[in-house]
Amino acid sequence: MGSIYKRGKTYWIKYYRQGKPYRESSKSEKEADAKRLLKKREGEIADGKLPGVYFDRIRFDELAEDFLADYRINQKKSTVRAERCVGHLKREFEGAKATDITTPRIQAFIEKRLAEGAENATVNRELAALKRLLNLGARQTPPKVDRVPYIPMLKENNIRKGFFEHGDFLAVRKALPEYLRGFVTFAYKVGWRFTEISTLTWAQVDLNQGIVRLEAGETKNTEGREVYLDEELKKVFIEQAARRVKAGKLGPYVFPNHDGTSRIKDIRGAWGAACIAAGFFRLEQDGKKTVKVPTRLFHDFRRTAVRNMVRAGIPERVAMMISGHKTRSVFDRYNIVSDADLRIAAAKQEAYLETQMGTISGTIADFRQKQGETGGR
């Protein structure tokens, strides 16, 4: 049960929601105005609403700005991706009331994006951004979103099939800054993870023996491993050592950052520019702008190294050891079969069958012999 009281000349009201007291000024010196406000608030509570919060005044644009501000304040690495997602969402929801962002309208957005040729995974990232955006609004004090609608997600194949043919790799490597070229060469050949390479120190390298070691605990699968360097990789490591001495910056990392002061931490800018320069990109709409989005990932080197080792005839057990795959199921996900592999298989089968020309199986030979003996009856 609510009550009315005065502070100075102004009437205030007091009411309860879920056992918690709320006090609010009527901003009036008339008791009748306070009574009307109290009745309104108690009616809102009876309807299950938060008293005094007008959700229908909140627009998508305000929620989007709060969402991006949260990314910028917390310096999240995926801020650029979040901005791109919001750009796509704005095309459907800009100016819309938060209360009008309903499941049917979200489904209409999905249909439009798919009609534009967006991949399921891309649309799902945008839907995830919308969900986070609305949840952030609901968690604010006072809340800006009353209820977060059901947001359907699309089924997607999460097994990425990206890899580099050798010419693709050379084109991207050439477009990268010099300090990254040895880094990506090592990734391309051995398939180690980004962090495993970026944190690699000279203490883990035996140049005389041509061995690089990762100790147990330094890897994702907690198992140590070692790799023998081929001639190209030996040259890479020798050049890295010479560059280190020449620069006079004797840091611990084999592949330091551009100024040699620390390890490589983030190559997304250089990587994206190199992929675009090499022609590996797709066009996407970012609001009113058309932007180039790289279609190769650094992690594609991992798939590529596995595939190349299998192509070269290296036993799968050894390839798993080199690349650091602990289980066969995960290894198989990286052992991608490409169109080129299928063409090679077809050529090998044709070559094999040509060697069999003129040979006849025992069963057919026996049949033909019997046919000859019986006169073909």
pLDDT tens figures, 88-145: 999 899 999 998 999 999 999 999 988 877 888 889 999 999 999 999 988 876 778 8
Both structure tokens of 203: 């203490």
pTM of model > 0.75: no
Whether 335 has a pLDDT exceeding 60, the answer reads: no
Q: How confident is the model at residue 81 (pLDDT cuts 50, 70, 90)?
A: confident
- What pLDDT does 375 receive? 54
- What pLDDT does 323 receive? 75
Q: How confident is the model at residue 70 (pLDDT cuts 50, 70, 90)?
A: confident
pLDDT in tens, 258-282: 988 899 988 989 999 999 999 999 8
Q: How confident is the model at residue 369 (pLDDT cuts 50, 70, 90)?
A: low
Mean pLDDT, residues 309-322: 77
Per-domain boundaries in the chain = 3-52, 57-139, 166-280
Cα(240)–Cα(374) distance, integer angstroms: 80
Both structure tokens of 93: 């929801």
Sheet holding 205-206, edge to edge: 205-206, 211-214, 225-228
Whether 374 has a pLDDT exceeding 60, the answer reads: no
- What pLDDT does 126 receive? 94
Instruction: Tell me which of 322 and 232 has the higher pLDDT.
Output: 232
* Residue 39 near residue 4 (C-beta atoms within 8 A): no
Mean pLDDT, residues 344-360: 60
Q: Is 237 left (phi over 0), alpha (psi -120 to 50) or beta?
A: alpha
Whether 158 has a pLDDT exceeding 80, the answer reads: no
Whether 330 has a pLDDT exceeding 50, the answer reads: no
pLDDT in tens, 287-300: 678 889 899 989 88
Q: How confident is the model at residue 225 (pLDDT cuts 50, 70, 90)?
A: confident
Whether 327 has a pLDDT exceeding 90, the answer reads: no
Sign of CA dihedral 192, 197, 203, 207: positive
State the residue for tokens 């070269």. 312
Sign of CA dihedral 62, 67, 70, 76: negative
Mean pLDDT, residues 215-221: 59
Dihedrals φ, ψ of 24, to 5°?
-150, 135
Mean pLDDT of all residues in the chain? Answer: 82
- What pLDDT does 77 receive? 65
CATH topology of domain 166-280: hpI Integrase; Chain A (1.10.443)
pLDDT in tens, 196-215: 899 999 999 999 999 998 87
pLDDT in tens, 176-197: 999 999 999 999 988 888 988 9
* CB contact burial 171-182 (16+ within 10 A = b; e otherwise): bbbebbeebbbb
* Residue 53 near residue 142 (C-beta atoms within 8 A): yes
Instruction: Tell me which of 248 and 104 has the higher pLDDT.
Output: 104
Domains 57-139 and 166-280 share a fold: no
Cα(35)–Cα(316) distance, integer angstroms: 80
Instruction: Tell me which of 336 and 13 has the higher pLDDT.
Output: 13
Cα(329)–Cα(331) distance, integer angstroms: 5
CATH topology of domain 57-139: DNA polymerase; domain 1 (1.10.150)
